[in-house]
Amino acid sequence: MTGRLFLTHIIVLFVSLLSAQENEPFLTPEEIRYRDSIAALNMDARTLKESQQAYNTGLSFFDKKQYSEAIKSFQDAVKIRPDFIMAWYNLGIAQYANKMYKDAYKSFSAIIEKENNIKALFKRAEVSLAMNDLEKAVEDYTEILFSQPDNYKPYYEMGGIRFRQGNYKDALESFNKSILLKDDYAQAYNDRGSTRLMNNDVKGAIADYEKAISINPRLAYVYNNLGSAKKKNKDLNGAIEAYSKGISTDPDYFIAYNNRGTIHLEKGDYKKAIDDFSSCIRINDKYEIAYNNRGIAYQKLKEYDKAIKDFDMALQINQKYATAFLNRGNTKELLFDENGACKDWSAAGKLGEKTAVKFYQAECE
pLDDT band at 26 (very low <50, low <70, confident <90, very high): low
Phi, psi (degrees; rounded to nearest 5) at 317: -75, -40
Percent of the chain with pLDDT over 70: 88
Q: What is the pLDDT of residue 47?
A: 79
Residue 281 has pLDDT above 50, yes or no: yes
Q: pLDDT, tens digit, for every residue of 308-360?
A: 999 999 999 999 999 999 999 999 999 999 999 999 999 999 999 999 999 99
Provide the pLDDT for residue 199.
96
Average pLDDT over every residue of 149-170 = 98
pLDDT above 50: residue 100: yes
145 pLDDT more than 50: yes
CATH number, domain 51-149: 1.25.40.10
pLDDT of residue 326: 97
169-249 and 252-319: same fold? yes
Q: Using an 8 Å Cβ cutoff, are 110 and 88 in contact? A: yes
Q: Are residues 294 and 281 in contact, defined by beta-carbon separation less than 8 angstroms?
A: yes
Q: Output the pLDDT for position 28.
A: 53
DSSP letters spanning 291-355: HHHHHHHHHHTT-HHHHHHHHHHHHHH-TT-HHHHHHHHHHHHHTT-HHHHHHHHHHHHHTT-HH
Between CA 339 and CA 273 the distance in angstroms is 30
Would you list the domain boundaries of the chain? 51-149, 169-249, 252-319, 330-364
Residue 46 has a pLDDT of 77
Q: Taking the chain, what is the end-to-end CA distance rounded to the nearest angstrom?
A: 128
Nearest to 323 by CA among 349, 298, 361, 284: 349
| Percent above pLDDT 90 for the chain | 85
Cβ–Cβ contacts within 10 Å for residue 236, how many? 15
pLDDT digits (tens, 9 = 90+) for 42-93: 446 677 888 889 999 999 999 999 999 999 999 999 999 999 999 999 999 9
Question: Quick check: 140 pLDDT over 60?
Answer: yes
Identify the architecture of domain 252-319 in CATH: Alpha Horseshoe (1.25)
- Distance in angstroms (rounded) separating the CA atoms of residues 108 and 130: 14
Residue 317 region, left (φ>0) first, then alpha (ψ -120 to 50), else beta? Answer: alpha
Domain 169-249 has CATH 1.25.40.10: yes
Give the contacts of 185 (CB within 8 A, at least 6 positions apart): 152, 156, 178, 179, 215
